[in-house]
């Protein structure tokens, strides 16, 4: 008789489902990964976000009504961390260099200690910006795992197609992915490419910075407080995803 050894926990998305243009259920239940999901995670892929999104999706016992691949990055990263917690536990080992004495040491943090950044209503106000030089009103699209994969794939394809490409196309492709409408109109792919290529850099900077604020406005805070084992100095470091995330070493 088959037995179910997986663990499942319920969580509330940091966006509360309020950042989307469609109804999204805020509470989900995540079960732990099995060997089958780990084999899929380890398989080579040109679209790693798609693979991981599908794994998270399959591990959702209760689903939110939107594909994980199309979630905002904050919700996606939140679910990624919760999947790791229900699969391997909260303890996470990190190597840290003390800014006070220079000693490099191993520390252990609890993934539950990462602060959640909940959705606030004023976050949606960032979705529309007036560009300072061109005076165009741009509606910014939420970045998602799907969009990040598409940027990487399109950039790689363009570099392969044009051997002597004298510039990095990722900026133009990123801007195209971020702009939903211009003066409330959706531009054709050709018109949008022309538009972003002619944008003054002051306008470009505003779009990029605003998109970054949107991404950081919901999800998990990456700041971690650690104490140096040598000098006792308390320092704030940034959480880093390493091989310990999906393969924690056992002492």
Q: What is the pLDDT of residues 33-81, one digit of tens each?
A: 999 999 999 999 999 999 999 999 999 999 999 999 999 999 999 999 9
**What are the residue boundaries of the structural domains of the chain, listed by start?**
8-118+218-238, 121-216
Q: What percent of the chain has pLDDT over 90?
A: 87
17 pLDDT more than 70: yes
d(CA 215, CA 110): 23
d(CA 122, CA 182): 21
Q: Cα separations (Å) of 246 from 52, 87, 108, 242?
A: 12, 9, 15, 8
pLDDT computed for residue 3 by the predictor = 58
Written out in words, the top-level CATH class of the domain with range 121-216 is alpha beta
112 pLDDT more than 90: yes
pLDDT computed for residue 1 by the predictor = 41
5 pLDDT more than 70: no
234 three-state secondary structure: strand
8-state DSSP, 185: B
pLDDT computed for residue 250 by the predictor = 87
Structure tokens, 204: 């470009």
pLDDT band, residue 121 (cuts 50/70/90)? confident
The whole-chain average pLDDT of the chain stands at 93
């Amino acid at each position: 008789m088959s037995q179910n050894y997986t663990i499942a926990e319920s969580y509330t998305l940091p966006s509360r489902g309020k950042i989307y243009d469609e109804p999204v259920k805020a509470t989900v239940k995540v079960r732990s990964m099995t060997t089958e999901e780990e084999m899929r995670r380890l398989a080579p892929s040109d679209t790693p976000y798609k693979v991981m999104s599908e794994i998270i999706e399959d591990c959702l016992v209760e689903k939110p009504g939107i594909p994980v691949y199309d979630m905002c990055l904050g919700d996606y990263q939140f679910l990624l961390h919760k999947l790791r917690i229900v699969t391997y536990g909260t303890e996470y080992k990190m190597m840290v260099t003390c800014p006070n004495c220079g000693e490099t040491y191993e520390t252990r943090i609890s993934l539950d200690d990462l602060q959640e950044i909940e959705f606030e209503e004023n976050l949606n106000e960032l979705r529309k910006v007036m560009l300072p030089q061109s005076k165009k009103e741009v509606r910014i699209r939420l970045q998602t795992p799907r969009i990040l994969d598409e940027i990487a794939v399109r950039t790689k394809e363009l570099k392969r197609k044009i051997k002597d490409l004298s510039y990095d196309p990722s900026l133009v492709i990123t801007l195209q992915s971020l702009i939903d409408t211009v003066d409330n109109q959706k531009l054709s792919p050709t018109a949008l490419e022309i538009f972003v290529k002619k944008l003054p850099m002051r306008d470009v900077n505003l779009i990029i910075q605003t998109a970054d604020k949107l991404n950081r406005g919901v999800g998990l805070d990456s700041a971690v407080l650690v104490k140096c084992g040598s000098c006792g100095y308390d320092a704030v470091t940034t959480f880093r995803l390493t091989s310990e995330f999906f393969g924690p070493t056992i002492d």
